[in-house]
Chain A
Amino acid sequence: DSGVTQTPKHLITATGQRVTLRCSPRSGDLSVYWYQQSLDQGLQFLIQYYNGEERAKGNILERFSAQQFPDLHSELNLSSLELGDSALYFCASAGGPGETQYFGPGTRLLVL
């Protein structure tokens, strides 16, 4: 158990819908990272937050957005969902930039 929690574990939805994935970092960690794991793209970095502020963006679609709240939990919002958004979404946390990232169990999203 890494100490990072993600909810829900599984999500099934339809094209065009919007979903919110939630992540709670390890106690004391200020950085949250979001990654997407898909069969065709592998594991890809989406976005990073540190202490409530966005720090880095990767290959994140404009339909996707995220935020980190004052209690340091983070949410990833996916809208106008397409079949190709079906993937495993991981959250990782770290004490700060440069520190080791610990991953949550992931949220498996299936878009039908």
Chain B
Amino acid sequence: GEDVEQSLFLSVREGDSSVINCTYTDSSSTYLYWYKQEPGAGLQLLTYIFSNMDMKQDQRLTVLLNKKDKHLSLRIADTQTGDSAIYFCAESHSGGYNKLIFGAGTRLAVHP
């Protein structure tokens, strides 16, 4: 079946690292994505990882993929107040014409 789960809330202090976790169930997923949604705004693609990779780094963002446990994480280094938003994990697989299956989203709150 298709299911993506995320914790709903994370609070961090400015300057610390944030780690947002996600688990998925579909082992045929080909790509896994992280999208960011700021209040009243659309979905901004942050990064993605192909299912045959273990890690991807892009500036302050690091994505780790554990295929055995079907666990995906997004680490944001040096978290800033501008990082406060909802972060969605999503999976897609070629068998489903690449429709995205989203988690419920993790609300990241960054405080001074």
Contact = CB atoms under 8 A, between A and B. Distances in A.
A97 B98 contact: yes
A35 B48 CA distance: 19
| Interface size band for B | 20 to 34
Contact of B98 (A43, A58, A94, A104): A94
B45 A98 contact: no
B99 A56 contact: yes
B98 A106 contact: no
B62 interface: no
B32 to A, nearest CB: 12
A43 B88 contact: yes
B1 interface: no
Given A97-B94, A98-B94, A100-B48, A106 B100 contact: no
A56 B42 contact: no
23 contacts: A33-B99, A42-B102, A42-B103, A43-B88, A43-B105, A44-B102, A45-B100, A45-B101, A48-B98, A48-B99, A56-B96, A90-B43, A92-B100, A97-B97, A98-B30, A98-B94, A99-B98, A100-B31, A100-B45, A100-B48, A101-B98, A103-B43, A105-B42
Interface of A: 2, 33, 35, 42-45, 48, 50, 55-56, 58, 90, 92, 94, 97-106
